[in-house]
A and B are shown apart, each in its own frame.
Chain A
Amino acid sequence: QVQLMQSGAEVKKPGASVNVSCKASGYTFTRFAIHWVRQAPGQRLEWMGWINTGDGNTKYSQKFQGRVTITRDTVANTAYMELNSLTFEDTAVYYCARLGPGYTNGWAYWGQGTLFTVSS
């Protein structure tokens, strides 16, 4: 079965960087893009960016452009999201997600979420 397993919670100071991993299993990793979505406490979901796991091409939300980098390791079947220059407003749960098979849209598979807290 398809699974996306994310790295654990982290606490970072303002200005620091954080790297979250998302290990995929149960399917051919390079056939489906991985998206990153975050949810700040009590806030709506927010799309951050995606990576074509086949060729490594990425697209980022303009809001995070310049601060976020999404990469992948096709040997480890893992996608990574790095967010730099953290502020308190980056405190959120970060999810990786994948479309369903043959779906035009609709993230059918989600990681369990990674909470990172920005605190001084």
Chain B
Amino acid sequence: QSALTQPASVSASPGQSITISCTGTSGDVGGYNYVSWYQQHPGKAPKLVLYDVSNRPSGVSNRFSGSKSGNTASLTISGLQAEDEAEYYCSSYTSETIPWVFGGGTKLTVL
């Protein structure tokens, strides 16, 4: 099955905003509003920061927002803080034989 495509890395200074893209196909990202985003610090389990494209779980900062256009979903983090530095993964439900697929991850560096 096809995995989702993310940029390998992004970087920005504290206080700035960044957007991470997650590109799939009409069989996954484009076909369902079932995209989720995870933050993962080294050696830790992933943490859900967005589900169903743009919904934030309780306790997640409103600096995290999500959107989708066609086959591409996006995660935006505004007002960057040092603790946002982490790996970010997108995931989508898919119509293929593996119901869920992940992106390759994006390393966010806060300069």
Residues of A within 8 A of B (CB): 35, 44-47, 59, 61-63, 95, 100, 103-108, 110-113
A104 contacts B3, C-beta separation under 8 Å: no
With A62-B97, A106-B57, A107-B36 already in contact, the answer to whether A46 and B102 are too (CB < 8 A) is yes
Chain B residues closer than 8 Å to A107, beta-carbon distance: 36, 38, 46, 48
A105 contacts B51, C-beta separation under 8 Å: yes
Main secondary structure of the interface of A (DSSP, over half): loop
In the complex, 30 of the A-B residue pairs with CB atoms within 8 angstroms, ordered by the A residue number, are A44-B89, A44-B102, A44-B104, A44-B105, A45-B89, A45-B105, A46-B102, A47-B98, A47-B99, A47-B100, A47-B102, A61-B98, A95-B45, A100-B48, A100-B51, A103-B51, A104-B34, A104-B51, A105-B35, A105-B36, A105-B51, A105-B52, A105-B91, A106-B48, A106-B55, A106-B57, A107-B38, A108-B51, A108-B57, A111-B45
With A44-B89, A100-B57 already in contact, the answer to whether A62 and B45 are too (CB < 8 A) is no
Main secondary structure of the interface of B (DSSP, over half): strand
Which one of A47, A61, A106 lies within 8 Å of B52 (CB-CB)?
Answer: A106
A110 contacts B51, C-beta separation under 8 Å: no
Chain B residues closer than 8 Å to A95, beta-carbon distance: 45-46
Of all chain A residues, the one with the shortest Cβ separation from B35 is: A105
B98 contacts A63, C-beta separation under 8 Å: yes
Residues 10-31 of B at the A interface (beta carbon under 8 Å) = none
Which one of B48, B51, B91, B98 lies within 8 Å of A45 (CB-CB)?
Answer: B91
Of all chain B residues, the one with the shortest Cβ separation from A100 is: B57
